Amino acid sequence: MSSGSSDHLEAERTPYVGALLRVVWQWVRDQLYAGVVAAGYDDLSAAHVALWRHPGIEGLRPSQLADRAGITKQSVNDLLGHLERRGYLERVPDPTDGRARVIRLTPRGWQLGQTIYSEAGEAQRQIAEILGPRRFSQLLSSLQLLSEKLSWLASSALPDQSPALGGDRGSEPPPGSAG
């Protein structure tokens, strides 16, 4: 088979849901960053803003934030160092383990978090406007259901066995699920 025909097959493939979600997620991320810069936070990169995921970073250890963000501990600590030097947060000893550190937002960090949350609401409003009330409601309820089910699957899976692939779930499914 020539490379020309394989290119044609690539172009004909319908994207899976993950690819479609990535496009929407990237648009939301771009909207958040543009709004943050417009609000005067021009000393931050999109990577800094991306650390503020629901429900926030207050009280997390840098290692927890790295796991949640899917980036290395070194990258997180580099980003946190910049945020600390700019007055958005402090890394203080963890009261439960003096060897570890936790993130504590400063008033400026709380203000940034509120700006990011407001921009997320604006992005959601724009998506709702594009879809209309009925389709947006369906999207939101479907994403909530997926979040619930997939969070449960991830938390109940054995380290090398996915319940979705037939692994032992080890516990009951969440309320309202078909099992």
pLDDT confidence tier of residue 176, bands split at 50, 70 and 90: very low
- The answer to whether residue 62 is domain-embedded is yes
- The answer to whether residue 158 is domain-embedded is no
Q: Is the separation of the CB atoms in 118 and 125 below 8 Å? A: no
Q: Which of 88, 85, 116 is nearest to 103 (CA)?
A: 88
Per-residue pLDDT tens for 102-142? Answer: 999 999 999 999 999 999 999 999 999 999 999 999 999 99
Residues ≥6 apart with Cβ < 8 Å to 160? none
- The answer to whether residue 70 is domain-embedded is yes
> Residues of the chain with pLDDT > 90: what percent?
73
Interhelix angle 62-69/73-85, rounded to 10 degrees, is: 120
Is the pLDDT at 78 greater than 90? The verdict is yes
How many folded domains does the chain comprise? 1
Which residue reads 């709004």 in tokens? Answer: 35
Is the pLDDT at 165 greater than 50? The verdict is no
Q: Is the separation of the CB atoms in 83 and 89 below 8 Å? A: yes
Name the residue range of residue 137's domain.
Answer: 11-150
> What are the distances in angstroms from CA 25 to CA 7, 31, 100, 102, 129?
26, 10, 32, 28, 17
Mean pLDDT of the chain: 87
> What are the distances in angstroms from CA 88 to CA 41, 81, 85?
11, 10, 8
pLDDT at 152 (0 to 100) = 80
- The answer to whether residue 111 is domain-embedded is yes
Is the pLDDT at 153 greater than 80? The verdict is no
pLDDT at 118 (0 to 100) = 97
Q: What CATH number did the domain enclosing 138 receive?
A: 1.10.10.10
- The answer to whether residue 51 is domain-embedded is yes
Q: How far apart are CA 13 and CA 155, in angstroms?
A: 32
pLDDT at 3 (0 to 100) = 59
- The answer to whether residue 144 is domain-embedded is yes
In sequence order, the β-bridge partners of residue 102 are: 92
- The answer to whether residue 20 is domain-embedded is yes
pLDDT at 57 (0 to 100) = 95
- The answer to whether residue 176 is domain-embedded is no
Residues ≥6 apart with Cβ < 8 Å to 44? 36, 37, 83, 86, 112
Is the pLDDT at 173 greater than 80? The verdict is no
Q: HSE on the CB side for 72, CA within 13 Å?
A: 3
In sequence order, the β-bridge partners of residue 105 are: 89
pLDDT at 2 (0 to 100) = 54
